[in-house]
A = this chain, B = another copy of it.
Amino acid sequence: MNFALTKEQKMLQKSIRQYIKKKCPNSLVKELAASEKGYSPELWKEMAELGWMGLVFPDEYEGSNFSFFDLVLFFEEMGYNICPGPLFSTLVLSGLPILNYADNKLKSEILPQISTGEIILTMAVTEENADYIPSSIKTSAIKEGDEYIINGTKLFVNDAHVSDYILCVARTDETPNPEDGVTLFMVNAKTPGVEISLMKNVTLEKPCEVKFENVKVPAKNIIGKLNNGWMIVNDTIEKAALVKSAEMIGGARGTMDLALQYAKERVQFQRPIGSFQAVQQHFANMWLGINGCRDLVYLAASKTAKGEHAEKEIAMAKARTGKIFREVTTLGHQIFGAIGYTMEHDMHLYRRQALSGDITFGNTYSQLDKIAVSLGL
């Protein structure tokens, strides 16, 4: 049992925190969120140079060889100060499945390009039903010679509009059990028939609609095996849920620290507002909420990093963190009052992050189902 981070991990945290704070101040966050692209190519390059893009890839792919646990820590700190962009989509949603399931040829081709920041990727899973269950995958891929022809519409595909490749989850067979006929394809986003449009939204994310109209993909672009894609998708979504939880913890910590500073300085009725019992109860609840989630995340990350099955632990982390981050921002706003309700202030960035974090990769209610199943219910 050891609840301490290693020196290297603490250094990693510190360097991310300092870098993001300096290079991606909240003024830039707002600018990026308002821009169409949603990220800064300069920062992207720099982060690649720092070795972050290939954080968990081995040397042979020009990676930095960190563990999955470190990746979780990394995104927690990315959430603390917020840095919008296709990092999550590229590293977590795409880098991990390619690393873990693609054949060597594909890995050698793609991973180094990720490490060097040359390409951006994302994964297209959800469709009209907006959930992560195999029966909702209607997009089809039909074999024609050495190619597959993909047809269908994907929704809520973050960062597709700036991606070079899209990992597309498509149905390749109609089977009694819907997860047995799903395959994962790597599609070049420039392929004719791929049409991408931004979905107008209120968070800092850039969700896209991606239409596939007779899109031709070579069979060699299958990641993993034919009809065996759901296992990869499921594994990726689980890991994504966990990393997203870490990012949310970081955000919740950021929110609390922001509010804390204010509560110590802001005077009302001749006293700092942080001296009022009602306000103190709010802060204790924030602390308790955040710290109660943090170890859930670390526990799930530790198991996952060891290659153990952590479905229940991840579901617990995601279910509770989404709820708590939302609550922490509600309390944070309550501390700040009107000033926090403006676009100019930074609070709303966290409030938005709590929304997008909570609803992606399965919200509280859908995680409860997984937990109940794991308890034999």
Contact = CB atoms under 8 A, between A and B. Distances in A.
Interface of A: 276-278, 281
A341 B288 CA distance: 27
Contacts of A278: 277-278, 281
Nearest to A276: B277
A222 to B, nearest CB: 43
A281 B276 CA distance: 12
A278 B283 CA distance: 13
A277 B276 CA distance: 8
Nearest to A277: B277
A278 B278 CA distance: 6
A368 to B, nearest CB: 15
Contacts of A281: 278, 281
The secondary-structure label for the interface of chain A is helix
6 contacts: A276-B277, A277-B277, A277-B278, A278-B278, A278-B281, A281-B281
A279 to B, nearest CB: 9
Nearest to A279: B277
Interface core residue of A276, A277, A281 (most chain B CB under 10 Å)? A277
A314 to B, nearest CB: 28
A276 B276 CA distance: 10
Contacts of A277: 276-278
A277 B281 CA distance: 10
A281 B278 CA distance: 8
A355 B377 CA distance: 27
A304 B117 CA distance: 71
A276 B278 CA distance: 9
A285 to B, nearest CB: 12
Nearest to A280: B278
A278 B281 CA distance: 8
A289 to B, nearest CB: 18
Contacts of A276: 277
A286 to B, nearest CB: 16
Nearest to A281: B278
The 5 closest A-B pairs by CB, nearest first: A277-B277, A277-B278, A278-B281, A276-B277, A278-B278
Nearest to A278: B277
A277 B274 CA distance: 13
A240 to B, nearest CB: 32
A80 B232 CA distance: 61
A271 B276 CA distance: 16
A277 B275 CA distance: 11
A171 B138 CA distance: 50
